[in-house]
Amino acid sequence: MTIKNNNKTVLVGLSGGLDSTISALLLQQQGYTVIGVHFQLWHDDKTEKSEKNLPENKCCSLRDLMLARTVAEQLNIPFYVFDFRERFKRDIVDHFIDGFKNGITPNPCVECNRSIKFGYFLEKMEELGCDAVATGHYIKNEFNTEKNRWEISAGKEIHKDQTYFLYTLTQKKLQHALFPMAPYSKDEIREIALQNNFKSFAQKRESQGVCFYAEKSHIPFLERHIPEAFIAGDIINIHTQKKVGNHNGVLHFTKGQRARIGGMITPQYVISIDTKKNIVFIGNNTDLFSESVEIFNLSWTMSKLENNTEISVKIRHGGESMNALFQYTNTAETEAKLLFSKPVRSLTAGQSAVLYKNNLLLGGGIMK
């Protein structure tokens, strides 16, 4: 069971891409009253000051806005632009930069879904007296009448399972969230676009990666915003505590990556970085494995887990599921420990550990 379309009005986020376009089309065909909305999220002033001729961001370009407006015109639906730039900078971009300053690796897509797409967007829905919001995520959101709860799981396009990024959606949010992509594969969505005169969208390349910088890597963005993190420093072996080399900025290094240093007999890997002392610590591959991890800022899509529950965990989008035992570590039940059934490589502070059981998304937290 999903949200019934009886005289329901839905705000659909139109990015100018294929998935959001077909989301609006499908909902209109299902009888919903559809209103198209485009988000203004980010403009990086530092790219204008750069001597390099940088391409536009992956989101929020003038071209994206015009494409979204064209979709609304073709569907003959109202169209509005919401200016979330101040909030996006504060909640997403500044959070991203501050995380790296403190030596952790944030997940901006998780925070964007928490704060923007299913935060401020829902607030706008209430202000306008609408009934639901819809996005182009490939996930399934169904109401279980027997258990009286909304449940999230992967949609048909298993290779585009985006549940990892949506573990912060609470029951209150889920009752107002529609995901029209759930029953379809990506190829089927392209075919629907072709059949409904959206040929250019069917052929459009997908944008991938973080949306608020143009490059494939986050390094150039961080170099523009925190240049002080890109000065030379020491590389130290965690076992001997001796200097074994030099680096040109700690943020060039990520936990788990191969550290190519001359004179080393065995392969060495980045174990951690210290942004305050400007040090990169390296060690053996075995040093990267952990049997447990602590998580905080817990969020639940359904009810809280019972203590000592066996669950499945994903520590990265697209990663394999791992079995673990869930245990609370404080009386407020806002933090927990995950005890894995076998050691796990490269658990990264700042990233999300997302929890599942019987293929249902339970919730998650941020790894320490």
Residue 220 belongs to a domain: no
Residue 125 belongs to a domain: yes
Within 8 A by CB and 6+ apart from 86, the residues are none
Q: Which residues are catalytic?
A: 112, 211
* pLDDT score at 47: 63
pLDDT at 297 over 80: yes
Q: Mean pLDDT, to the nearest integer, of 234-262?
A: 93
Identify the residue whose tokens are 């065909």.
29
Same domain for 276 and 241: yes
Residue 195 belongs to a domain: yes
Same domain for 197 and 57: yes
Q: Mean pLDDT, to the nearest integer, of 233-250?
A: 95
Same domain for 147 and 56: yes
Of 162, 160, 138, 142, the residue nearest 151 (C-alpha): 142
The model's pLDDT over 59-109, given as tens digits with 9 standing for 90+, comes to 667 888 999 999 999 999 999 999 999 999 999 999 999 999 999 999 999
Alpha-carbon distance of 339 to 308, in angstroms, equals 10
Of 319, 364, 325, the residue nearest 345 (C-alpha): 319
pLDDT at 270 over 60: yes
Token duo for residue 229: 């993190």
* pLDDT score at 164: 96
Q: How confident is the model at residue 129 (pLDDT cuts 50, 70, 90)?
A: very high
Last residue of a domain, one of 202, 221, 255: 202
* pLDDT score at 263: 76
Alpha-carbon distance of 283 to 311, in angstroms, equals 31
Angle between helices 62-75 and 18-29 (to 10 degrees): 20
pLDDT at 322 over 90: yes
Same domain for 133 and 18: yes
pLDDT at 267 over 70: yes
CATH number of the domain bearing residue 320: 2.40.30.10
Same domain for 148 and 31: yes
Same domain for 153 and 88: yes
Is the separation of the CB atoms in 16 and 63 below 8 Å?
Answer: yes
Same domain for 298 and 180: no
Residue 130 belongs to a domain: yes
* pLDDT score at 206: 72
Q: What is the mean pLDDT of the chain?
A: 92
* pLDDT score at 48: 55
Of 316, 310, 362, the residue nearest 340 (C-alpha): 310
Q: Mean pLDDT, to the nearest integer, of 195-215?
A: 82
Same domain for 255 and 166: no
Residue 250 belongs to a domain: yes
Last residue of a domain, one of 241, 259, 283: 283
Residue 343 belongs to a domain: yes
pTM for this prediction:
0.92
* pLDDT score at 45: 74
Task: Output b/e per residue, 225-237; b: 16+ Cβ within 10 A.
Answer: bbeebbeebbbbb
* pLDDT score at 86: 94
CATH number of the domain bearing residue 262: 2.30.30.280
Token duo for residue 214: 């143009």
Helix locations, 176-306, DSSP H? 186-195, 199-202, 219-225
Last residue of a domain, one of 259, 283, 307: 283
Give the domain range for residue 270: 230-283
Q: Per the structure, how many domains does the chain have?
A: 3
pLDDT at 340 over 70: yes
Residue 224 belongs to a domain: no
The span from the first CA to the last CA of the chain, in angstroms, equals 37
Q: Mean pLDDT, to the nearest integer, of 161-184?
A: 96
CATH number of the domain bearing residue 160: 3.40.50.620
Same domain for 145 and 53: yes
Same domain for 73 and 167: yes
* pLDDT score at 56: 57
Q: Mean pLDDT, to the nearest integer, of 110-117?
A: 96
Same domain for 277 and 304: no
Residue 223 belongs to a domain: no
pLDDT at 176 over 80: yes
* pLDDT score at 327: 98
Is the separation of the CB atoms in 365 and 347 below 8 Å?
Answer: no
Same domain for 349 and 252: no
Alpha-carbon distance of 322 to 313, in angstroms, equals 5
* pLDDT score at 318: 86
Determine which of 60-64, 317-321, 324-328, 341-345 has the lowest per-residue pLDDT on average: 60-64
